Amino acid sequence: MSRLFASASKHRLDKLWPWLCAASVALSLLMLSALLTLLLVRGLGHFWPATLEEITLRSGSVVAGQAIRETPLPQEAGVERLYFKGNRDVDGVSWHWVDIDDITSRTTPHDLIRLERAPWGSFIGRLAAVETAQQSLHGREAWDYLNNALTLPANQRPPGQLLLVTAQGETLRQSLDSVSQALAPNAMSWWQKTHTWGTNVWQFLSEGPRAANTSGGVWPAIFGTVLMVILMSVIVTPFGVLAAIYLNEIAHQNRLTRLVRIGVRNLAGVPSIVYGVFGLGVFVYGIGGTLDSWFFSDTLPSPTFGTGGLLWASLTLALLTLPVVIVATEEGLARIPDAQREGAVALGATRLEVLTRIVLPMATPAMLTGVILAIARAAGEVAPLMLVGVAKLAPQMPVDGEFPYVHLERKFMHLGYHLFDTAFHGEDVQAAMPLVYATALLLVVIILVLNLTAIFLRHYFRRQRGSEC
**Measured between alpha carbons, how far is 85 from 358 in angstroms, rounded to an integer?**
68
- Is residue 142's pLDDT more than 70? yes
**Measured between alpha carbons, how far is 418 from 436 in angstroms, rounded to an integer?**
9
Strand partners, 97: 82
**Measured between alpha carbons, how far is 442 from 154 in angstroms, rounded to an integer?**
28
**What global pTM score does this model have?**
0.85
User: Residue 357: pLDDT band by 50, 70, 90 thresholds?
Assistant: confident
- Determine how many CB atoms are found less than 10 A away from the CB of residue 31: 10
Strand partners, 62: 56
Range 112-143 burial, b when 16+ CB lie within 10 A, else e:
bbbbbbeebbbbbbbbebbbeeeeebeeeebb
Q: What is the CATH number of domain 219-465?
A: 1.10.3720.10
Average pLDDT over every residue of 273-294: 91
DSSP-derived secondary structure for 306-366: SS--HHHHHHHHHHHHHHHHHHHHHHHHHTS-HHHHHHHHHTT--HHHHIIIIIHHHHHHH
Q: Are 358 and 389 in contact (CB under 8 A)?
A: no
Strand partners, 165: 126, 171
Residue 5: predicted pLDDT = 52
Cα 324–Cα 329–Cα 333 angle in degrees, nearest 5: 150
SS3 71: strand
SS3 126: strand
Chain segment 190-239, per-residue pLDDT in tens: 999 999 999 999 999 988 887 666 677 889 999 999 899 999 999 999 99
Which is more confidently placed, 61 or 428? 61
User: Residue 10: pLDDT band by 50, 70, 90 thresholds?
Assistant: low
Q: Are 411 and 228 in contact (CB under 8 A)?
A: no
Q: Are 376 and 320 in contact (CB under 8 A)?
A: no
Which is more confidently placed, 37 or 468? 37
Chain segment 79-128, per-residue pLDDT in tens: 899 999 989 888 888 899 999 989 999 999 999 999 998 888 899 999 99
Residue 296: predicted pLDDT = 84
Residue 468: predicted pLDDT = 44
User: Residue 467: pLDDT band by 50, 70, 90 thresholds?
Assistant: very low
- Is residue 157's pLDDT more than 80? yes
Chain segment 311-338, per-residue pLDDT in tens: 999 999 999 999 999 998 988 888 888 8
Average pLDDT for the chain: 86
- Determine how many CB atoms are found less than 10 A away from the CB of residue 211: 19
